[in-house]
Amino acid sequence: MYERQLQTRSPAVNVMAKAAFAAAKKLIRDFNELSHLQVSKKGPGDFVSAADKRSEKIIFDELQRARPGFGFLMEESGEIKGKDSNARWIIDPLDGTTNFLHNIPHFCISIALEKDGEITAGVVYDPIKDEIFWAEKGLGAYMNNQRLRVSSRKNLDESLIATGIPFCGNGDQETFSKELNLIAPKVAGIRRMGAAALDLSYVAAGRYEAYWERGILSWDVAAGLIIVQEAGGFIKSLTKEKKVHLSPDLLVGNDAIFQEIQKLLKEN
């Protein structure tokens, strides 16, 4: 794991990275157990739920030990208030649960630090590829120890766009279909990979030019948003929510493609 090389990170990011690495060890073991689920009395859904909860408990314990006064907002356990009302961790212990369940090696751990209502640092760790994306306000964005910049592509027909698709009756399928029909004919491709935190990190790394999604949750995107910002990208709520990391509808991207996708979405 990349935990060997922590020297360039700030104390806050080191704390988050340490928690992510600790949880990742157990997630990897759980992921490798998926092939044996057929002999288990519990169904695969129960198994993955347990994996989520174990990961979250490890992260919670690590962060609480390091910063005992901070609060938490977590996917599995909800909100836990801390003595310091101005600081909390926002955690998704396993983003890409459906991929995990299907033995698809594309999932991650996402941890963000919120202070005074603003995201000030974020870590997204992909344990299978051993890639840790991280950023802190004003200090840039990195993948492992490599500085990140968003893509410089300016033309839609050269651009790869990420999104999320409503499923199992969730979300607004009609709106998504309209937006997809507006965007898809104009771009090089659209990807739905199933892990929003990694989608955002890939925009920061220049692998995607933009990402949009509706009906997303804050723990899925809080860490990724600051990574995009610090890599020179643009982020925008597609609702009237002033705090972008709390908005359910988002658009992010490099300067040129962000502007072009925004225009297309306004046509819907």
**Distance (Å, rounded) from C-alpha 242 to C-alpha 117?**
11
How many residues are present in the chain? 268
What pLDDT is stored for residue 39 in this prediction?
Answer: 44
**Distance (Å, rounded) from C-alpha 2 to C-alpha 209?**
26
Tens digit of pLDDT at every position of the chain (268 positions): 545 455 567 899 999 999 999 999 999 998 988 766 544 444 555 566 788 899 999 999 999 999 999 999 998 889 999 999 899 999 999 999 889 988 899 999 999 999 999 999 999 999 999 999 999 999 999 999 899 999 999 999 999 999 998 877 677 788 889 999 999 999 999 999 999 999 999 999 999 999 999 999 999 999 999 999 999 999 999 998 889 998 999 999 999 999 999 999 986 6
The DSSP 8-state label assigned to residue 130 in this structure reads T
Work out the end-to-end distance of the chain between its first and last CA atoms, rounded to an integer number of angstroms.
44
**Do residues 76 and 37 touch, judged by C-beta distance below 8 A?**
no
Strands 160-163 and 210-214, sheet pairing: parallel
**Distance (Å, rounded) from C-alpha 157 to C-alpha 159?**
6
Residue 241 token pair: 């929510």
Q: Which residues sit opposite 95 in a β-bridge?
A: 108
Tokens 């790394």 locate to 205
Domains of the chain: 2-147 (3.30.540.10), 156-267 (3.40.190.80)
**Distance (Å, rounded) from C-alpha 99 to C-alpha 151?**
26
What pLDDT is stored for residue 46 in this prediction?
Answer: 58
What pLDDT is stored for residue 146 in this prediction?
Answer: 93
Closest-CA residue to 77 (of 98, 95, 99, 93): 93
Angle, vertex CA 27, rays to CA 23 and CA 32, nearest 5: 155
Residue 244 token pair: 């972008």
The DSSP 8-state label assigned to residue 222 in this structure reads H
Strands of 87-95's sheet in order across: 78-80, 71-74, 87-95, 108-115, 118-126, 131-136, 141-143, 146-147
Reported pTM: 0.92
Spell out where the chain has E strands: 71-74, 78-80, 87-95, 108-115, 118-126, 131-136, 141-143, 146-147, 160-163, 189-191, 210-214, 234-237, 249-253
What pLDDT is stored for residue 217 in this prediction?
Answer: 93
What pLDDT is stored for residue 166 in this prediction?
Answer: 83
What pLDDT is stored for residue 167 in this prediction?
Answer: 77
**Distance (Å, rounded) from C-alpha 261 to C-alpha 55?**
36
